[in-house]
Amino acid sequence: MTAKVEALWRHPIKSHGREALTHARLTAGMCFPWDRVWAVAHDAAKTDGTAWASCVNFSIGAKLPGLMAIEAQLDETTETVTLTHPDLPDLTFRPDDEPEALITWTKPLMDPKRAQSQRIIRVPGRGMTDTDFPSVSIGNMSSHRVVEQKLGQSLSPRRWRANIWVDGWAPWEEFDLIGKTLRIGSTEIAIREPVVRCMATTTNPDTGKRDADTLSVLNEDREFCVYGEVVTSGDIALGDMAEVV
């Protein structure tokens, strides 16, 4: 049960862009580095930004498909983020210092019938993942190809917003890993639970338009990818092998 790392992704601002990586340093008990460091709370949010909060508090792709077409690039040293979108001019800003820049930039992507983006929050030491524990998400390319085959159309893996993509497992074999620990590179990740999917995955990440009924071809619980918890710090890179410890 071995597979090879095919892609690594981080999402500096939750639901507001993704960035491909060639390597990363994972830390035990922490999220994927620089993943969901910031999140955009809307005007109906019930969070003060001091602790983890569920996705219902934030502007996300499930409710605002236009957000799914954002790409991101993070300068870790200056904590500056550059965002691009096919229908908007590029934006470079510092989320901690210039939240209004992002709020203004995304206004054309907002649904006037939904809660509006209001502020950016950052919880020190904790990425705003959809799990109440600091998680990394792992996708299986074989499962992705099955979804493509069932729908009869090509799909970008970026729809699923996973951190780590591996190839070499059988379709859906990732679910057999729940309760087990993977070694990838020099890090170890305990696989905890499946990822339950939402409407965000129906959106084309190139256009920000919904164009595929991805949820219809998943199991009844809408599961795709798995969440893991980093239990041993280490390095991970493209081409590394993933194997059960």
Reading the block at residue 43, the tokens are: 């005007």
Residues 6+ apart with CB under 8 A from 53: 39, 41, 45, 46, 47, 128
Burial (CB < 10 A; 0-12, 13-18, 19+), residue 218, is middle
Per-residue pLDDT of the chain (245 residues; tens, 9 = 90+): 789 999 999 999 999 999 999 999 999 999 999 999 999 999 999 999 999 999 999 999 999 999 999 999 999 999 999 999 999 999 999 999 999 999 999 999 999 999 999 999 999 999 999 999 999 999 999 999 999 999 999 999 999 999 999 999 999 999 999 999 999 999 999 999 999 999 999 999 999 999 999 999 999 999 999 999 999 999 999 999 999 99
Q: What are the DSSP calls for 26-83, one per residue?
A: E-TTSPSTTSS-EEEEETT----SSS---GGGB--TTT-GGGGG-EEEEETTTTEEEE
- Which pLDDT does position 1 carry in this prediction? 73
Taking only the tens place, the pLDDT of each residue in 155-179 is 999 999 999 999 999 999 999 999 9
CA separation for the pair 206, 9 (Å, rounded): 16
CA distance 135 to 128: 9
Domain segments of the chain as ranges: 2-31+131-244, 38-122
Integer Cα distance of 69 and 53 in angstroms: 24
Judge whether 104 and 40 are in contact, CB under 8 Å. Answer: no
In terms of DSSP bridges, do strands 2-10 and 234-237 run parallel, antiparallel, or are they unpaired? unpaired
Instruction: Please name the CATH architecture into which domain 2-31+131-244 falls.
Output: Beta Barrel (2.40)
pLDDT, residue 116, reads 97
